[in-house]
């Protein structure tokens, strides 16, 4: 089941990235950010799923300490980048709806690239703050991780040395990231909802809301488990692993369907891409 979902995640996100790259009508900030979100989702699943699949199949499930810390780093690197990126997409929708006449001026190519780079830099800083304190811990006792990937909480319970510093670093680092991104989301959508309510025509309200509905659903699917898992005291619950499966496997799997099913322009572009491929194959055969 995980293998099928992972392969569909790769296929779905690659189709979105290729479609946006090929279709010139989709060369706008909104689709530029959507393409990068697809790359993040694809990378996020790749950090955890292939290793988990190997461990499902092999009787001996081993992982070196350096590999474990590397996985921890990239999990938070890409996860942090996704948090920043979802906030960035909310800001993009705010500018598009609240300042439509100045949208192309504000969200020009240079600004979009700078904002995109900032999401990856922020993700890197967050990952370093998560992985470095855990890497300094001493491990001399139990070495079985009660999880299907390496994470800070699952590693801290195995440490022989004091984990106070790593726990404080984890709470501060994660708190700044999640609360900061969530505040940007709340403020952006506060202005967006206010602007939508001022639109007189029902059709105009529906069109404006439809541009944000997909993003709101993706935000809910991603931030819901994150809040429960990382914004609480370091106590383990039975539901932790199913929630981790949800935001590392199921959410990246669902995101391509969420964006394409509600986006008519993206669906038309994909149909056009399918027709172009069919014509290419036919011409090549002839």
Task: Examine the pLDDT at 81 and tell me if it is beyond 80.
Answer: yes
Q: What is the CATH number of domain 1-279?
A: 1.20.1070.10
pLDDT tens, position by position, 244-263: 888 888 888 888 888 776 66
Residues in the chain: 286
Task: Examine the pLDDT at 108 and tell me if it is beyond 70.
Answer: yes
pLDDT tens, position by position, 212-238: 778 888 888 888 888 777 776 666 677
Burial 146-155 (b: 16+ CB within 10 A, else e): ebbbbbbbbb
Q: Could you tell me which of 71, 73, 58, 53 has the C-alpha nearest to residue 249? A: 53
Task: Give, rounded to a whole angstrom, the gap between the first and last alpha carbons of the chain.
Answer: 40
Measured between alpha carbons, how far is 192 from 212 in angstroms, rounded to an integer? 9
Looking at the chain, list the stretches that DSSP marks H as alpha helix, in order from N- to C-terminal side.
2-22, 29-57, 65-98, 103-106, 109-135, 152-156, 164-197, 202-230, 240-245, 251-261, 264-285
Q: Could you tell me which of 151, 152, 226, 153 has the C-alpha nearest to residue 185? A: 226
pLDDT tens, position by position, 120-179: 999 999 999 989 988 888 888 778 888 888 888 888 888 888 888 888 888 888 888 888
Q: Could you tell me which of 58, 112, 56 has the C-alpha nearest to residue 89? A: 112
Does residue 236 contact residue 153 with C-beta atoms inside 8 Å?
Answer: yes
**What is each CA distance from 22 to 18, 231, 264, 283, in whole angstroms?**
6, 40, 17, 19
Residue with tokens 């499966």: 245
Q: Could you tell me which of 93, 94, 88 has the C-alpha nearest to residue 111? A: 88
pTM listed for this prediction: 0.86
Q: Confidence band (pLDDT; 50, 70, 90) for 272?
A: low
Sequence spans of domains, the chain: 1-279
């Amino acid at each position: 089941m995980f293998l099928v979902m992972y392969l569909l995640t790769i296929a779905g996100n690659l189709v979105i990235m290729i479609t946006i790259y090929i279709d010139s009508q989709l060369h706008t900030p909104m689709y530029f950010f959507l393409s990068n979100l697809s790359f993040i989702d694809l990378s996020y699943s790749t950090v955890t799923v292939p290793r988990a699949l190997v461990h499902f199949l092999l009787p001996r499930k081993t992982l070196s300490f350096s590999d474990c810390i590397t996985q921890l780093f990239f999990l938070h690197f890409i996860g942090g980048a996704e948090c920043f990126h979802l906030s960035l997409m909310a800001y993009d929708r705010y500018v598009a709806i609240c300042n439509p006449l100045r949208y192309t001026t504000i969200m020009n190519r240079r600004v979009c690239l700078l904002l995109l780079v900032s999401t990856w830099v922020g993700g890197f800083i967050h990952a370093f703050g998560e992985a470095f304190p855990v890497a300094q811990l001493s491990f001399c006792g139990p070495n079985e991780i009660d999880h299907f990937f390496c994470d800070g909480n699952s590693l801290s319970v195995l440490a022989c040395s004091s984990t106070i510093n790593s726990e404080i670093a984890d709470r501060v680092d994660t708190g700044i990231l999640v609360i900061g991104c969530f505040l940007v989301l709340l403020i952006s959508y506060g202005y967006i909802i206010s602007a939508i309510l001022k639109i007189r025509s029902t059709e105009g309200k529906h069109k404006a809301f439809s541009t944000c509905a997909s993003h709101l659903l993706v935000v809910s699917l991603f931030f819901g488990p994150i809040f429960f898992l990382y914004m609480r005291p370091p106590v383990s619950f039975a539901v932790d692993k199913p929630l981790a499966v949800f935001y590392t496997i199921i959410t990246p799997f669902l995101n391509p369907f969420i964006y394409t099913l509600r986006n008519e322009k993206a669906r038309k572009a994909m149909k056009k891409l399918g027709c172009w491929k069919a014509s290419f194959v036919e011409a090549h055969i002839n």
